[in-house]
A and B are shown apart, each in its own frame.
Chain A
Amino acid sequence: MNILLEIMLATPFIGGLLAFIGGKVHRWVRYAVAVTFSFLTLIEALVYYNATIKGVVWGSLFGSKLVLQTNPISWLFLFIVTAMSFLIVIFSIGDMEEDKIKLDSYYMQLLFVEGAMVGIVLAGDLITFFMFWEIMSWTSYFLIIYGGKKSVAAGYKYIIMSIIGAYSMFIAIAMLYVKAHSLVYADVAATLAHSSATFVVWTVVLLGIGFFVKAAVMPLHTWLPDAHSEAPSPVSPLLSGVLIKMGAYGLFIVLYGFLSVQLAGNIMPSVFSTPILLYIIQWLAALSIVLATFLAIMQEDAKRLLAYSSISQIGYVVLGIATGTSLGVAGGLFHALNHAIFKGLLFLAVGAVIYRTGTRNLSDLGGLVKKMPYTFTALLLGIIALAGVPPLNGFVSKWMIYEALLQKKEVFLLIMAFIGSTGAFLYVYRLIHSIFLGQLPKKYENVKDVPILMQFPIWVLAVLTIVFGIFPGLAMNVIVKGMKLFGFKPIAYTLFGFPQGTAMGALKVINISAVLVVAFVAAWVLFLILSKSRKVSQYDNYAAGQVVTPELKYNYSFGFYMSFGRVIKSILKLGIERIYNYWVDAAKVFGDYYMRRVYTGNLETYNSYIVIVVTIAAVAILLGGKLW
């Protein structure tokens, strides 16, 4: 049984290689191999449902064991990774066309990214973790830059920031190694338990920078909007839905696997009964939520909008995880799952639109509802989930996070989280309106819905939003069981929500759903009966008495929230990216004009360098070997 962990880790990599080799034979071989192996990985992952396996040693390096492990929390992320990858592979077959772009190594890279993420989740020690983390970085870099010219620049930004984040982690890992000489999670935890506060804070901060870069928490998010929007359609959901969750997973492991709330509370002051470190993380997450929401509102590009929305949503995940209470952490983890599902759904649906129309510019689109009804319905479900409206899944996890914040009486954070949620309504409405409602541009009159291969993953995800929305207990099963291992008090839950009486409000989603359905039906009936409006064809409209010819169709999807934008302009001007660019440029100028000019090309300068070195030595000798 234990050996299966290694097999499972190897499966995607082997699959990737086979897909590459098989692709040389025929492209359908490649597709078949990719689908088979990603499905195999999914099956292998399902085997471990709720299993806890500790310490499968698969090697050793520099005296530290390399370990694989799994537990329910890992399984949660494992499920996200494998399920999403499987769906994305299927979607890719429909979406990525051989004749448009060279695909000989695409599936290999896709499976490699999957394998790397499986490795991260299964890692039982920090070397394994870090190794797969880096592998994930560069393999996903190659995926991002599949999208053509603009994506190359985005990928460059992504890989550089990833490397910086990874090296920040590297220092922390090296510090831990030097201290403990073993990087197995348990040993690390034991070491941190006996370390000084400074050491702990440094470790967590350095590791945290690495995770935050990947998770795109606010000051370190700048790579994400470019990378996610420029990546090919099937890759975006992988990045947004899965890859940034690795940051959340890492944060969880560090905060609760290595540290614990009690330990953190012991060595540092607390605010709102939260250790200050966690409190800072909460604030960063909350800022991400609000600012990214505002930015998302102002986007003209569908995928960029979703990318900013990802920053905002991952903010909820991090906020939840950083609360430190059972409910909050569970909410955060659950939201990670939910976000993967609905953001995957949204990106795939938008990808489907792009597949048919070739543009992702919101103001160019419109009125596709009749042309792509299935995609429309799925996307509708997705945005409802994203906005946190019951009965879909986003609601439950957000509710848990709000509840946790309420219990801790962190009002400011709560307000910020609410703002994010409200803002989400604005941008998701924008999304669905601009794409599917309004006028249909003439050039899209022949658009059809996408093929079944692309519909399938979209609808699987759509169904999942409903399933997890109505039966949150399914996910709670795993999360609560896993959190027990990390020393959290278990929270009571039922299949449909949370029972009354455990120091928090009850939640029974099925009831809410029932109410909602009834209300919806009632409203619809009322609408039918009482409506005085005249039903017009979608294409039959006019403006101020003037007949609009198809060429002049009035389309108000550009500058949708312009007036709102004027209000929040000062916030948008913040420009974190500009600060980074300023420093990078300054460093470049310094390097260019002051550093590399030591190689003047002039031989006499070079010779005098030699003489100077010898002179320094001579001075040292004359001073009796004491130069410093």
Chain B
Amino acid sequence: MVNIANPILLVVIPLFFTFLIALSGSFLKSGVKYLPVIAFALNLVVSLALIPEVVKNGMVIATTAGFKPPFAIDMAVDKLGLFLSIIASLLGFVASVYNLFYIDEEPQEKFHALFTLLVAGLTWMIITGDIFNLFVAFEVTSIAAFGLVGFHRDKGAIEAGFKYLVMGSIGGSFLLIGIIMLYAATGTLNIVDIAQKTSHLTFQQKLFPFAMIFTGLGIEGALFPLNAWLPDAHPAAPSSVSSILSGIMTTAAIYAIIRLTNTIFDFNQIYFFLMIFALLTLIFGEVSAFFQKDIKRMLAYSTIGQTGLFFFAFSLNTVNGLQGAFMQMVNHSLSKGMLFLVVGGMIMQVGSRNIDDFAGLGRKMKVSSFFLAIGAFSLMGLPPFFGFWSKLKIIFAALQNANAFLVASVVIILLMSVVEGAYFFKLLQVMFFGKQEKDVAVKEASYGMLFSVVVLGTVLLIISFYPSPVIDFMHKAAAEIINKNYITLALKLGGL
């Protein structure tokens, strides 16, 4: 019997099903839509099976082609990677269930193939242990996303897709330049191996590859000012795709930055700079979100703001800060993923993305609205939801070694949280207490779509009310990354 606790399966299973969809698309017709569900159910099983091993050893490393890592590509799942890949699989699973009822446009088999590929690419980005492989995963993700953003083929979708494509490929090129710089400096591509060999490099020599990789990943990670594609692309995509893009893509890209920064580029001088990026991202995201009339665009801007928040926490470069960042990442993935799914169902019923048309939905789509409220509360950081714990942690961490700048940043963060509260409460009050002008027949979303929402919402509620396992786990994960245990563990487990 094959040991299924192998991270490589997280990538290979969806790829297998992608090609299976291509193969069977012509004769299964719309039956292919069940294939992604199977794929991500399997993925979920695999990622859950990884838990015991990761908890025991701190990391699981899978090699390819039967060679030892610096000579072949390896997949390395550490604690946070595991958590994120569980979330990716979960979100992929629920979103593909959602797709069963949501996608009725042709060409279905292409959509489902690309969707599977997108989630596979994101998981891949999270778990890969090889820097060029990271680039490939980045491209898989991007190109699948370009196609999916344009899926509706209307004016907005095409424009958004094109903008995303241009920015994404510039970013890809920069990422590649950064990678090749590291290769030129060390002659190897394995992350751990590079980390071992960069110690003789000067700060200046490390800064350039870092800047390049940062630019490349920052474009997917939605860092200001590299994120201009995001508010166009997320609304244009079908909601299940927006959910993945918003929920996992930024998180995966930021996680990649975090991992590379703490293994390859262990320098401290850069964090101040990153913090400014984070704060700008936060400010521009939240302020822009406040003025939106289009609900998906508002959520997209809110994603930018959230990214800024957890990137800020990461740039504190302390165990507590990183822990806060990880908690916020988990919170953001679950709640924003859920919000997009909910909103997708609502848009389907209302036929508009304008917030004013959502008036009175709170009475007509009770379950959806309830979960929308929960997601919004968690994003705002209101207790007792998980966002509260993560915001608490981030602020505590930020004030730990407080200087004037950090205090100012905390004030900015909290101000932006107020702005966030302002627009989410505006949305909620329109939904629950607004009067619908037009008399549209609005029903609750179909059970299948609700199923996805309820699953995500339940997970969110569980970790909200019983947060300590997650908090402790994240603390360990953060400590491992900050203490450079990633390298030690990888060396111990044959990652090199």
Contacts and interface: CB of A to CB of B under 8 A. Distances in A.
A305 interface: no
B227 to A, nearest CB: 9
A160 B215 contact: no
B384 A135 contact: yes
B287 A610 contact: no
B421 A595 contact: no
Contact of B383 (A134, A148, A618, A628): A134
A162 to B, nearest CB: 9
B365 interface: no
A603 B163 contact: yes
Contacts of B399: 171, 174-175, 177-178
Contacts of B290: 591
Interface string A33-67: 00000000000000000000000000111100000
B225 A163 contact: no
Interface residues of A, number: 55
Nearest to A202: B407
A596 B377 contact: no
B414 A167 contact: yes
A627 interface: yes
A155 B429 contact: yes
Contacts of A137: 382
Contact of B215 (A170, A591, A617, A628): A617
Contacts of B434: 152
A163 B211 contact: no
B313 to A, nearest CB: 13
B438 to A, nearest CB: 18
Contact of A609 (B228, B388, B411): B228
Interface string B153-183: 0000000001100110011001000000000
A249 to B, nearest CB: 18
A525 interface: no
Contact of B384 (A131, A160, A598): A131
A30 B66 CA distance: 65
Main secondary structure of the interface of A (DSSP, over half): helix
A271 interface: no
A617 B284 contact: no
Interface string B355-378: 000000001000000000000010
A167 B418 contact: yes
B473 interface: no
A596 B288 contact: yes
B226 interface: yes
Contacts of B388: 131, 134
A517 interface: no
Interface centre among A152, A160, A599 (most CB of B within 10 A): A599
Contacts of B320: 62
B22 to A, nearest CB: 32
B426 interface: yes
A612 B291 contact: no
A489 B274 CA distance: 55
Contacts of A596: 284, 287-288, 291
A522 B432 CA distance: 58
A426 B211 CA distance: 70
B229 interface: yes
A621 B228 contact: no
A621 B211 contact: yes
B207 A621 contact: yes
A141 B389 CA distance: 21
Contacts of A127: 392
Contacts of A135: 382-384
A156 B433 contact: no
Given A178-B400, A595-B287, A603 B166 contact: yes
22 contacts: A61-B389, A61-B392, A127-B392, A131-B384, A135-B383, A138-B382, A149-B435, A152-B429, A156-B425, A175-B399, A177-B396, A592-B291, A595-B288, A596-B287, A606-B228, A606-B229, A610-B215, A610-B225, A614-B211, A624-B204, A625-B204, A628-B273
Interface of B: 162-163, 166-167, 170-171, 174, 203-204, 207-208, 211-212, 214-215, 218-219, 225-226, 228-229, 231-232, 269, 272-273, 283-284, 287-288, 290-291, 320, 363, 377, 382-384, 388-389, 392-393, 395-396, 398-400, 402, 407, 410-411, 414-415, 417-418, 421-422, 425-426, 429, 432-435, 467-468, 471
Interface of A: 59-62, 102, 127, 130-132, 134-135, 137-138, 141, 145, 148-149, 152, 155-156, 159-160, 163-164, 167, 170-171, 174-175, 177-178, 591-592, 595-596, 598-599, 601, 603, 605-607, 609-610, 612-614, 617-618, 620-621, 624-625, 627-628
Given A160-B421, A171-B414, 19 more contacts: A62-B320, A62-B471, A127-B392, A131-B384, A134-B383, A141-B425, A145-B433, A152-B429, A171-B410, A171-B411, A174-B398, A178-B399, A591-B287, A603-B162, A606-B228, A613-B218, A617-B207, A621-B207, A624-B204
Considering the complex of A and B, which 10 residue pairs feature the smallest CB-CB distances, nearest first?
A617-B211, A596-B288, A609-B225, A167-B414, A606-B228, A131-B383, A591-B287, A174-B395, A163-B421, A174-B399
